[in-house]
Structures are given as structure tokens and as C-alpha cells.
Amino acid sequence: MQFEKNILCIGAGYVGGPTMAVIAQKCPQHKVTVVDINPTRIAEWNSPDLPIYEPGLDEIVKETRGKNLFFSADIEGGIKEADIIFVSVNTPTKDYGIGAGKAADLQYWEKTARQILEFSESPKIVVEKSTLPVRTAQAMEKILTSTNNGIRFDVLSNPEFLSEGTAIADLQEPDRVLIGSMETESGLKARDVLVEMYANWVPRERIITTNIWSSELSKLVANAFLAQRVSSINSISALCEKTGADISEVATAVGMDSRIGNKFLNASVGFGGSCFKKDILNLVYLCRSYGLHEVADYWESVIKINQYQQERFVFKMLNAMFNTLSGKKICLFGFAFKANTGDTRESPAIFIAKRLLEENAEVVISDPKALKNARADLKGVNGKISYVEDPYGAACGCHAIAIMTEWDLYQNLDFEKIYRSMAKPCFIFDGRNILDHEKLLKIGFNVFPIGKPAMAHFDLS
Ligand SMILES: NC(=O)c1ccc[n+]([C@@H]2O[C@H](COP(=O)([O-])OP(=O)(O)OC[C@H]3O[C@@H](n4cnc5c(N)ncnc54)[C@H](O)[C@@H]3O)[C@@H](O)[C@H]2O)c1
């Protein structure tokens, strides 16, 4: 079959895979190829067991794979035939040298730029999908024009706003698609090509175009604002626990103000995921490098509150369970950083599990999709850890359950049966405020939610 355009995505991860699957589904006239330096990942994308879990992803991949969606380890061949190249490689926080612990590590991204330069034989539109510091497109363009090979490269910024767990719905019906370009004749022409591709399924009024720096910065700012809301409500949850106010009631009252809105106001054990912390650190680093220290301090506090919230959770467990966890068996319900994904990157559960093990507790981890990643995250960590997918089996014989992930399944469990199988007194620490706390108290549990009064069968003073 003759395709109109060859689209390539470099990086077959949580963004590259789902994004390209939806582009292939919505643009059958284009051929979409996803490549990666990791051949195992490519083999998994070509197998019945995809490397990542996202509701709806399996179905789309089955529908399009082998028709106009291809996963391949041939990066050179992919670059040669591509008209449009999305760069969707990882951009983690740098852990060495200048900017360690703050700046984005651009080594994977730069390697990609050099590969594009080396293998290209025809003009390309290169699209930044990865989240990158402001002005990275300029560096990309410098690399791509560093030889006089006469090939035209236009660099666009098209940050991805999908949210893991709802990635497919977010991609099929995005709030907005953002495309940043150089304001040159060929930059604007390249931008129009990408606009036309998205217009296959996204209403035009939701496709916004900006200059390239605004586009790069908008992605960092969007994540910083989202994380800031979580830290804001979590900071107030600490105050609620001291005063007897109820964080859910406060969130409802505050969120009904249409200027504020009610989304992202659930108090919890803290945010996780590969992006929020890294993107804020990146923003903080940018601000500091421009001498904007007050601005940097402001955004840094969002991360500090997140860390504080996790510490507070462990301290609450220790305090409630008579100041010793040694030898006690504690079950974590959920390990993914949020529901409906198997992704555990920066999950608060990693920190909580490690801290509980430091207190010599025995930790049992349960999760419907994230046990493989949990095992990798805790590899080499000292202490007694076991992994049990069935929540009933996991809780059996435990002294406490801590809810780490807001999976629906935890709301529908038979907690009377769980209570009967546990060591007494039984504790539940609801790190997501998803359970019926009154009911649990009646069953016999001592219940410790976030930002609400604790409910126990003994004197808490
Ligand atoms: N995960 C999210 O929810 C999300 C959302 C929006 C934006 N982003 C951004 O998208 C980017 C990718 O994130 P992700 O979660 O998909 O990362 P990921 O780690 O899941 O995937 C990145 C992939 O790129 C591959 N890779 C690295 N260097 C390569 C190279 N030179 N050639 C070919 N492949 C290479 C890796 O092997 C890996 O499979 C990051 O910048 C991230 O900040 C992520």
C-alpha cells in the first residue's frame, strides 16, 4: 500500500507507544513506525503482551499493528524513510556533574539528534515530543545543521499532555494539542504539516500554535501547576489532622469556586510518576540559571511538601502502631504511582516500602498491574519483602494495610473477610482516602485517613 507520509517515532516508551498507536488509528493514510534502542522493548510491542498497561491500548495496537503501525529496532532504516520524526526518548533528571539532581539529562535526546543527522538523506520535520528545557529546540537545530549536507530540518515542539491511566482517551480527545515552531517561512510550513496531521481527529480550535519557546515552557508549567495543586491540598491535609477539619469537606467547598475548580484536589500520600518531580526540578534549575532564585524557591517548595507528606505518612504509621514496626507485617495495597497503570516510577510506594523495611517491618506488596516493576524497584533492598497479587492473600496475617494506589478494586473488597484473616489489632492507613472509613471502624479496624480525624478502638491521645 502507498502511504501519504512516513511518520517515525524514536522512543517506544509510555509516550511513544500509545501516542503513535492513536496516530496510526486516526491516520490510516500514513505509515507509523516506532523504533527504540532497546530491542526487548520492541519485541514486547510486537508480542501479545505489550510492555505497558493502558486501558484501551491493546485493542488499538491489535487493530493497527502490521497495517500502518510498525515496531522496529532498525533506527537507521526508520530515519532514512521518515518525513516526520517524533523524538520521544526519556529525559530523566541528571544524576552526575553540573546540575546533578536538578537539570534534565539530555544525553539520550542528543544521541537521537546525532542519529537523525547521520542517517538522513531527505528533508525531515523533527518534532520534540519529549519534555525538554526551554530552548532545547535551538540546540537540536544547531546539531542538525552542523554539517553542510544540504538537508533541510525543521524542528517543532509538540509536548505531550497525556496522563498515564487515561492516555488513550487523552490522546483521542485531547483538551488541546500544542505546536510550537520557529517563526520562519519553513518553520511555519512545517507547523502546518503537523496541524493537518492532528486535524484528522482533533477539532481545529483545540490545536494551538505558539512560538517554540512558549511551547517548550508550557509543558513544564502545566506539570508544575498540576503538582502544585496536589502539594497545596496535601499541605492543608496536615493542618486538618491537627484541627479536626476534614480535607474532603474543605476540598469540596474550595473546589466549588469556579475560579478554582474541583479537579486535582484529592489529598493523598503524595504525587509520583516520572514527570512531576523531574519537570519541576528542571523548571527550578532554569530559574536559578537565569538568577530568578525567588521563583525557583517557590516551585521547589512543591517538591518539599510532597516529600514531607510521604514522611508524615510513615511517621503516622509508626506512631499509631505503638512506636514500633519491628517484626510487624504490613501490606501495601497498590504499588503503581496511580490507578490504571503499571508504571511505578517515583511512586510514593517505593519510598514508603523502603522506610517500613528500615523500621524492620515485613512488607507484602499487592498490585494488579505493577508487581513486575515493584520487584525491579526494590531489587537489592534489605529486608523481608513478598509480592502477592491477590489482595486477600496479601493481607492475610498482616498487622496493617496501607492503601498506596487508588485502584477501584480496593473499594470493592470484602473487608470483613480481610479483617478476620489479619493479626489484631488491625490498622488501615488510607493513603488515598478511597475507603468507607466508618464501615471499616465498625468491622473492627483502626482507621487512619489523610487529612481527617483518625478513628480507633483505643485512646489516641
Ligand atoms: N510518561 C508520561 O506520562 C509522559 C507524559 C508526557 C510527556 N512525557 C515525556 O515524554 C518523554 C518520554 O517519556 P516516557 O515516559 O515515554 O519514557 P520511557 O522511558 O518510557 O521511554 C523512552 C524510550 O526511549 C528509548 N530511547 C532512549 N534513547 C534512545 C535512542 N537514542 N534511540 C532510540 N530509543 C531511545 C528508551 O529505550 C525508552 O524505551 C519524556 O521526556 C517525558 O518527560 C512523559
Q: Last residue of a domain, which of 167, 202, 237? A: 202
pLDDT of residue 206: 98
User: CA nearest 85: which of 144, 23, 129, 133?
Assistant: 129
Record the cell numbers describing residue 461, joined without a space: 491521645
pLDDT of residue 290: 95
Is there a single domain that holds both residue 33 and residue 179?
yes
Question: Closest residue (by CA) to atom 4 of ligand 1?
Answer: 15
pLDDT of residue 139: 86
Is there a single domain that holds both residue 148 and residue 266?
no
Is there a single domain that holds both residue 267 and residue 161?
no
Record the cell numbers describing residue 301, joined without a space: 517548595
Q: Which residues contact 352 (CB under 8 A, 6 or more apart)?
A: 269, 310, 313, 314, 332, 402, 404, 431
Edge-to-edge strand order for the sheet containing 400-403?
A: 385-387, 362-366, 329-333, 400-403, 427-430, 446-448
Report how far ligand 1's centroid is from the alpha carbon of 41 (Å).
12
Is there a single domain that holds both residue 18 and residue 106?
yes
Is there a single domain that holds both residue 308 and residue 428?
yes
The CA distance from 267 to 270, in Å, is 8
Is there a single domain that holds both residue 60 and residue 181?
yes
Report how far ligand 1's centroid is from the alpha carbon of 13 (Å).
5
pTM, two decimal places: 0.95
Question: Closest residue (by CA) to atom 34 of ligand 1?
Answer: 36
In a domain, 242, yes or no: no
Q: What CATH number should be reported for the domain holding residue 28?
A: 3.40.50.720
Chain CA centroid to CA 239, Å: 28
In a domain, 428, yes or no: yes
Is there a single domain that holds both residue 39 and residue 162?
yes
Is there a single domain that holds both residue 145 and residue 259?
no
To the query of whether residue 396 is one of the catalytic residues in this protein, the response is: no
The CA distance from 20 to 311, in Å, is 38
- Indicate the DSSP class of residue 260: T
Chain CA centroid to CA 261, Å: 22
In a domain, 254, yes or no: yes
Report how far ligand 1's centroid is from the alpha carbon of 161 (Å).
13
Based on the structure, what is the number of domains in the chain? Answer: 2
pLDDT of residue 229: 98
pLDDT of residue 137: 86
Is there a single domain that holds both residue 184 and residue 317?
no
pLDDT of residue 133: 85
pLDDT of residue 147: 82
Low-confidence ranges of the chain (pLDDT < 70): none
Record the cell numbers describing residue 444, joined without a space: 473492627
pLDDT of residue 296: 98
Which is catalytic among the residues 240, 275, 398, 426?
275
Question: Taking CB atoms and a 6 Å cutoff, what residues make up the pocket around ligand 1?
Answer: 10-16, 35-38, 41, 75, 88-91, 108, 111-112, 130-131, 160, 162, 164, 274-275
Is there a single domain that holds both residue 257 and residue 341?
yes
Report how far ligand 1's centroid is from the alpha carbon of 309 (Å).
28
pLDDT of residue 5: 97
The CA distance from 206 to 213, in Å, is 19
Query: Domain containing 355: what range?
Result: 247-461
pLDDT of residue 446: 98
In a domain, 116, yes or no: yes
